[in-house]
Structure 1
Amino acid sequence: MHIEIPEKKVAKSDKVVFDFLTDIKNFKILMPDNIDKFEVLDEKTFRFALKGMPELVLRLKEQFAHEKVVLGAASDKLPFTLTANISNLGADESSVVLSFEGEFNAMMAMMIKTPITNFMETLSSNMDKIS
């Protein structure tokens, strides 16, 4: 299953956005208002839960300086990745495209597509909070 959110322009440089996204604790700032739990487990891993949804553990899997940040499920039970592709648009502007890639059966994909899309749209819109 592949989900991609439209490009989000951010009034920060690609370096600032990259540095923000590679500091795991900053994801709390991007989370939706209905977050039930957020816990940093180590410098590359965090756990979170949204009201009414199961708890997920995400781990920083890959990073390419100022261009890409890849988070993935810490468990192999639900294999997926959440990728932020960062593009430089100028000294103080960049764009971020979030994409989700996961391997799910058809029934599971149908159940989670809308909540994941909504979650990613919230992460994207909250990129304005990057400091």
Structure 2
Amino acid sequence: MTTIQNTTEINRNVSEVFAFLTDLNNHEQLMPENIYNWSSTSDEARFTIQNMAKLALRVEERVENQLIKLIPSEKAPFEVTLRWEVQAVSETVTKATFIIDADLNMMMKMIASGPLQKLIDFQVNKLKAVLG
């Protein structure tokens, strides 16, 4: 299993950050420009990654003010789990970590690791910009 992640601190309390992330409708604001055909509900999101794949994700688990775990709701190109972990640093600061666990063979790892890291970095920075 390949794990790719990034962390940021946001000047909002943990419940505000969790409330934003727990609703998948908000995740469209975190996506880069190569994501299109977006449709979502609070529990599921579908989109196309330009020149790559269509993905459908659903919330598998929510732990209040701690964790949102997403898994594919349809067949994905590889086994993958996405997690947003939030943690209160203080009353007004939250640490947010975005983690992708992907079951990639050596060839897929060489191809997909860079784009997945870029996606994580983009979304973490965008979360900070949107909520910061």
Aligned to 2:53: 54
Aligned to 1:87: 87
Aligned to 1:130: 131
Aligned to 1:45: 44
SS of equivalent to 2:118? helix
Gaps of 5+ in 1: none
- Name the aligned partner's letter for residue 2 of structure 1: T
SS of equivalent to 2:124? helix
Tell me which moved more, 106-115 or 47-56. Answer: 47-56
- Name the aligned partner's letter for residue 4 of structure 1: Q
Distance 1:89 1:95 in 2: 6
Counting only pairs closer than 5 Å after superposition, residues 1-131 of structure 1 correspond to structure 2 as 1-5=2-6, 7-40=7-40, 42-77=41-76, 78-128=78-128, 129-130=130-131
Task: Name the CA shift for 1:37/1:130 in 2 (closer, same or farther; >3 Å).
Answer: farther
SS of equivalent to 2:20? helix
Gaps of 5+ in 2: none
Deviation at 1:54, TM superposition (A): 1.1
Distance 1:71 1:22 in 2: 10
TM-score of the pair, normalised by structure 2: 0.89
- Name the aligned partner's letter for residue 72 of structure 1: I
The number of equivalent residue pairs is 129
Deviation at 1:101, TM superposition (A): 0.6
| Residues 52-75 of structure 1, C-alpha deviations (whole Å, 9 max, x = no match) | 221111111111110111111223
TM-score of the pair, normalised by structure 1: 0.90
Distance 1:83 1:59 in 2: 11
Distance 1:17 1:109 in 2: 31
